[in-house]
Structure 1
Amino acid sequence: MGVELNRLEERDGSCRVYLVMSNPSPRSYEALKLDLVLFGTDGVIARRVAVDTAPLRPTKTTVKLFDVSGLPCAGIGSVLLNDVIECRGTDVSATDCVASVQPSSRSSVAFTK
């Protein structure tokens, strides 16, 4: 499953983050919560957030977005997919979720695991 950091957008002192979720498999996900750590441009942890990206339908690409309050987009240097907090779906185990999530970035901010 692909999780792409597609865009960062300033929104009233917050940063809106757009994720493109690509689920090419026949599995559906009723729960998929990601543990993300945002690092500042200096490499110091700026914020840790839990992002609920479910539901994800089989063989479907979806856009999910969330706001990070009090953190300007220009202050984000990289994003780490630290873990998968919750994962439930058709023929899915938590171990499968961690292994199958492939982060990528289309923005200037790196997204890794």
Structure 2
Amino acid sequence: MIPSARAAGAPSPFSPRRGGLAFAGLAAALFTLAPAAARAEDPAPITIELNRLEPQPDLKPAAGCRAWLLMRNPGAEALDPLRLDLLLFGKDGVIARRLALDVGPLPGAKTMARVFDLSALPCENIGSVLLNDVLACNKGDDARAACAARITTASRVTGVNFEK
């Protein structure tokens, strides 16, 4: 028999009980850190806000509406190109217009406004806006899908929702 330096009844450093406790502690630490690490890797959301609608009686060929979009890209990566597919609905819920808007480039860590005119569509007739799709965002379908997932929409225009 080999003499032991440990006291009688003390757990061996190699005993299953001691190893089980060490593993449980390590597992608990990893589970606690995992959500924080995942959040740190999530890209920042891109916000597109319908900020303002203003009547434009002098638009040609017919009076219409000027729409202001406020876009926020808090991430470091620029979005170039950035093209959106928007559907505008009337107050009756029927699609009034479909637009493909080129709103990029949107630099990283930047907030920008984009303006577009809607001839022959009065502001008071717009009931809601739908971000139907992201047509282009950076290069490739994977980048387009990633951008679409990051985009959130909002509206400051009373009575007009902007949804995704």
**Mapped pair 1:84 → 2:134:** yes
Counterpart among 38, 46, 53 of residue 96 in structure 2: 46
1:64 maps to what in 2? Answer: 114
**Displacement of 1:53 after TM fit?**
0.7
Ranges of 4+ aligned residues in structure 1 off by more than 6 Å: none
Higher helix share: 2
Per-residue Cα deviation, 1:6-40 (whole angstroms, up to 9, x for no partner):
00011121110000000000010110000000000
Higher strand share: 1
Amino acid corresponding to residue 96 of structure 1 in structure 2: A
Amino acid corresponding to residue 7 of structure 1 in structure 2: R
Q: Alignment partner of 1:103: what SS? A: strand
Per-residue Cα deviation, 1:41-79 (whole angstroms, up to 9, x for no partner):
000000000111101111000000101111000000000
Amino acid corresponding to residue 8 of structure 1 in structure 2: L
Aligned mates of 2:135, 2:65 — CA distance in 1: 22
For the aligned residue pairs, the C-alpha RMSD in angstroms reads: 1.1
TM superposition score normalised by structure 2: 0.66
Aligned mates of 1:49, 1:30 — CA distance in 2: 19
Aligned mates of 2:143, 2:134 — CA distance in 1: 11
Aligned mates of 2:93, 2:117 — CA distance in 1: 21
**Mapped pair 1:112 → 2:157:** no
Task: Say which one has the larger Rg.
Answer: 2
Q: Alignment partner of 2:111: what SS? A: strand
Counterpart among 147, 151, 160 of residue 97 in structure 1: 147
Unaligned runs of 5+ in 2: 1-45, 58-62
2:123 maps to what in 1? Answer: 73
Unaligned runs of 5+ in 1: none
**Mapped pair 1:21 → 2:66:** no
